[in-house]
Amino acid sequence: MLLVIDIGNTNIVYGLFDGDTLLHQFRVESSRNKTSDEYAVALVQLLAYNRVDTARVSAAIIASVVPSLTTPMIQVVKRTFGIEPMVVGPGLRTGMAILYENPHEVGADRIVNAVAAYERVKASVIVVDFGTATTFDCVTPKGEYLGGVIAPGVQISADALFARAARLPRVEISKPAKVVGRTTTHSIQSGLVYGYVGLVDGLVDRLRDEMGGRSAVIATGGLATMIAPLSRTIEIVDDVLTLTGLRLIYGRNA
């Protein structure tokens, strides 16, 4: 089996593939204070809970946007499975030309998402990833990574609002019944949810105009399933887009 690891600023997501089939996925909190031993114990426990024999894991690939966690996770894989993991970065073939002015600046997760999205539609595509940041990644009809947009994530925006406005309560991010809020809680929820719907649709319209054609739009990340039904531009929601991209990149380098 192939173990794929997506290290984000908020969560680490593990996926286990048997061929093209995703058998399991696990999500744990990203913590820069945990040691490689702590991550190893947690991963082994998750595998044991799901009755996965560690001996069946024969390969691994990591994408990380948290440099301080990359080396500890490499150590976890080496010590737990006795294998050397691939790490998405310079020197690893992605099968996608990077048109960014400085390709090394592009987050590994953004390239992985772009690879998976283009493989899925085989055409120009925009990936909207609702993570710690909300990112928009643009791929040309030829399958080249063109660039994109980075905006504060929904949770970051909510946290900043609660931290800076003394009288506003901390609320759950969920869709209110109506856009016009009749309570403070609903008003905040409306601003967060419908505000981000407007942000997504507005940016996608501008990106499509600059790209000179009608690009497909795929959403992924934690809040994609909430935002997508309210958006007029998001066409596909793929919760495992990053894990799929990691599998594809591993296959291109194995």
**Confidence band (pLDDT; 50, 70, 90) for 166?**
confident
Q: Specify the pLDDT at position 21.
A: 97
| Residues 124-151: tens digit of each pLDDT | 999 999 998 999 999 999 999 999 999 9
Cβ neighbour number for residue 248 with a 10 Å cutoff = 21
Q: Which of 242, 174, 231 is nearest to 217 (CA)?
A: 231
Over its C-alpha atoms, the chain yields an Rg (Å, rounded) of: 19
* Coil, helix or strand at residue 36: helix
Identify the active-site residue in 109, 129, 137, 238. 109
Domains detected in the chain: 2-87 (3.30.420.40), 103-246 (3.30.420.40)
What pTM did the predictor assign? 0.92
Catalytic, 53? Answer no
